[in-house]
Amino acid sequence: MAKFERKGKMKGVPPISTASLPDIVFMLLFFFMVSTTMKETSINVKIRLPEATETIKLEKKSLVSYIYVGAPLMQYQATLGTLSKIQLDDKFSEVSDIGDYIAAEREKRDEKERPKMTVSLKADEKTKMGLIQDIKLELRKASALKLNYSSRKRLTNSKYN
Amino acid sequence: MARKNRAFPEINQSSLADIAFMLLIFFLVTTTMDVDSGIYRKLPAWINDEQEPPKIKRRNTFIVLINKNNDLAINGEFAQVSELKNRVKEFILNPNDAQDLSEREDRFVEGIGDVKRSKGVVSLQNDRGTDYGAYIMVQNELVAAFNEMRNDFSFRQFGLKFDALSEEKQEMVREAIPTSISEAEPVEI
């Protein structure tokens, strides 16, 4: 009996094996690698997307080009003002640059994938329609006709019903 | 042999977890998880030369106007966004063949047969000062109206919702109920 007690005191609580910790972390890592996409551009304009119920998911991200529209962030307001600006890729642009941007985006894709290209318009809900209309006109001129008005999903129509 | 095995030290694996954590944190920071979604619309093709706008009868146009104060008008009268969807459905479906709502023509759709297709066009016009948010709200109601009509139609024809139909059947339903939302300005006659 005495021998048994002494043995127990010496060993204490056995340390928890951390050998499986890397496996758990790798599992998490793979989950995130598979379920997420890389951030491609940093957005320099403030965007609060409008809400909508009839939204469609954009399936193939590689076929989507983005146009961001909104007021420049604080740090750019000193030079650019607070009026809504267009951002293409990483830089602020004018409406007239859209044609070139679409052409460049088209050039990046495979020939057979080009007809499926979609433009996602991410515009702030406070933007004036004048600018949006100019963008739409430029898109039509560039024959990029598939347009997705990016919006947040509102689950029910409870706002009105 | 046994002695040799004991002499070879096991590689310490405790830092593997740290490396994996570092990778994990890197991916957490550089990636986004939000699914991109939005209202899908097809823009009309750009026509370079001056072309006469299509002539559409007055009863076949449903004019939705949004002014710069984000007020809504349907056919020249003030209206609420909440009534827009049902007004559009009533206009397109015209169940009682009212004289002031859209005309319906017989049309043969392959796979379904003869259907009564509306000749109505919803014309959406806005001011340059309209807020984008208000425009999307109206656009959303218009798309919702057409989606609901297609869902009802699919349910009557095939017993399934529009989204559950096969590609060919969706095409048939699209032909029977086209999304006739025009953002150009049709001329009244």
Q: How far apart are the first and last CA of chain B?
A: 102
CA of A148: which chain B residue's CA is closest? B40
Residue spans of the domains in chain B: they are 55-144+181-188
Residue B5 clears pLDDT 70, i.e. is over it: no
Query: Under an 8 A CB cutoff, do A29 and B24 touch?
Result: yes
Q: What is the DSSP string of A56-103?
A: EE---GGGEEEEEEEEEPHHHHHHH-SS-EEEETTEEE-GGGHHHHHH
Could you say which of A32, A129, A157 has the minimum Cβ distance to residue B24?
A32
Token pair 């208000």: residue: B134
pLDDT (average), residues A152-160? 64
Chain B: residue nearest A161 by CA?
A: B82
Are B37 and A56 a contacting pair at CB < 8 A?
Answer: yes
Q: What is the predicted pLDDT for the residue at A123? A: 92
**C-alpha closest to that of B145 among B80, B75, B79, B93:** B93
| Chain B residues with beta carbon closer than 8 angstroms to that of A69 | 132
Q: How confident is the model at residue B184 (pLDDT cuts 50, 70, 90)?
A: low
Pair type for strands A56-57 and A64-72: unpaired
Whether B15 and chain A come into contact, CB under 8 Å, resolves to no
pLDDT band for position A133 (cuts 50, 70, 90): confident
- Identify the closest residue of chain A to B47 by CA–CA distance: A141
Show residues of chain A in contact with B46, CB under 8 Å. 137, 140-141, 143
Domains and CATH numbers, chain A: 45-153 (3.30.420.270)
3-state SS, residue B37 = strand
Extract the tokens encoding A102: 């679409």
**pLDDT interval class at A159 (50, 70, 90):** very low
Q: Which two tokens stand for residue A157?
A: 């129509």
Contact B38/A at CB under 8 A = yes
pLDDT for B189 equals 41
> Cβ B132–A147 below 8 Å, yes or no?
no
Residue B69 is predicted with a pLDDT of 87
Lowest-pLDDT range of A95-104, A129-138, B49-58? B49-58
Contact B36 A57 (CB under 8 A): yes
> Among A18-22, A45-49, B32-36, which is the least confidently predicted range?
B32-36
If you compute the radius of gyration of chain B from its CA atoms, what whole number of angstroms results? 28
Which residue is closest to B147 within chain A, CA to CA?
A: A54
Inform me whether the pLDDT recorded for A160 exceeds 50: no
Tokens of A112: 């057979």
Nearest CB among B20, B37, B128 relative to A29 is that of B20
Q: Cβ separation of A132 and B140 shorter than 8 Å?
A: no
pLDDT confidence of residue A156? 65
Predicted complex ipTM: 0.74
Question: Which residues make Cβ contacts (< 8 Å) with residue A104, sequence separation at least 6?
Answer: none
Predicted pLDDT of residue A158: 47
Q: Which residues of A touch B143 (CB under 8 A)?
A: 54
The partner residue sitting opposite A160, judged by closest CB among B37, B81, B131, is B81
Chain B, residues 70-129, CB within 8 A of chain A, namely: 80-82, 126-129
Q: How many CB pairs under 8 A join A and B?
A: 153
Residue of B nearest to A28 (CA): B24
Instruction: Look at A151 and B132 and tell me if their CB atoms are within 8 Å.
Output: no
